[in-house]
Structure 1
Amino acid sequence: MAQAASTLPGRPASRATPDPVPLLLREAADTLRRLPRGVAKPRLSSWPAVIRDSASLLMADGGARRPTPPSPQAIDRMDRTLAWLLACEEEERRLVWARAMGISWRRLEDMDGRSHVTLRKIVARGHDRIRAFLAADDKKKPVIRKNALHGLEKRL
């Protein structure tokens, strides 16, 4: 009884933190999917589009609704995340992005011809390269102190 009281209800005693790299890549893939397509519109005619009833409208659309457009913040995160893929080699980049798009390991096996174990190792290597790129990028950024402007104000 005392052991059950020490843990939060509904949560296991030890819980690993999820890896943010695959989660952010999946979010970028979802954001890219929800962006409006840049398809050129056909030439317009002077005749208006006539919709006879709501049933014909649903049949023309196929019953599927467009996903909601992404927020500007999600598009900014997607832009930064897609730049991470440049840290990977071409093979890793292709497989990491395929997994972010939600392609199953089985389908990747069929497309690539290698086992899922090999493909998982390549994707893990790609994630490691991205993590190393992010760690190196963090070291390059200057540390901004809150009081850095304080001395500048006195000099002016």
Structure 2
Amino acid sequence: MTRVGQESPDDSDVRSVLEEAAETLRRLPAGLRRPRLTSWPEVVRDSSSLLAPPTEGRTRPAAPTPGAIDRMDEALMWLLACDGEARRLVWARACRVPWRKLEDLDGRSHVTLRKIVSRGHDQIRRHLGRS
């Protein structure tokens, strides 16, 4: 992260911090992602399900560290320096959305989208240079 008195970050620094923020956000607990359909407790049918390791589904990623959460909060504030169009695309690229999918969603070529993402990174770097 760039603090007051430090040099302005380059494009790869901004990109890597935003990618770390996206990964940290992904690793945060889901909270109430699935609404409960009933208030009845889950019933255990037999003890083998308790003793066997879970085989279905993916395991949850490790929880992020407090420092990673602080860096994520700061990086998310950086996005406010971008205009709306650039903010959406910069965050999508930080979340590793492929250019091809962005082309399909947005309707413009990857060359145009890359220019918009570059403009967003420039806006963030200018904002950090003033901080």
Higher relative contact order (CA 8 A, sep 6+): 2
Paired residue for 1:147?
Answer: none
TM-score (normalizing by structure 1): 0.68
Alignment of 1:104-119 (within 5 A): 104-119=98-113
TM-score (normalizing by structure 2): 0.81
Deviations, residues 18-40 of structure 1 (Å, cap 9, x unaligned): 72100000000000000001216
Aligned with 1:74 (options 68, 76, 82): 68
Paired residue for 2:44?
Answer: 49
Distance 1:76 1:65 in 2: 25
Structure number with greater Rg is 1
How far did 1:52 drift?
2.6
Identity score, percent: 53
Paired residue for 2:7?
Answer: none
Gaps of 5+ in 2: 1-9
Q: Is the aligned partner of 1:97 residue 2:97?
A: no
Distance 2:60 2:110 in 1: 33
How far did 1:58 drift?
1.5
Q: Is the aligned partner of 1:29 residue 2:29?
A: no
SS for the counterpart of 1:108 is: helix
Distance 2:42 2:25 in 1: 34
Paired residue for 1:135?
Answer: 129
Gaps of 5+ in 1: 1-16, 138-156
SS for the counterpart of 1:58 is: coil
Report the aligned-residue RMSD.
2.0
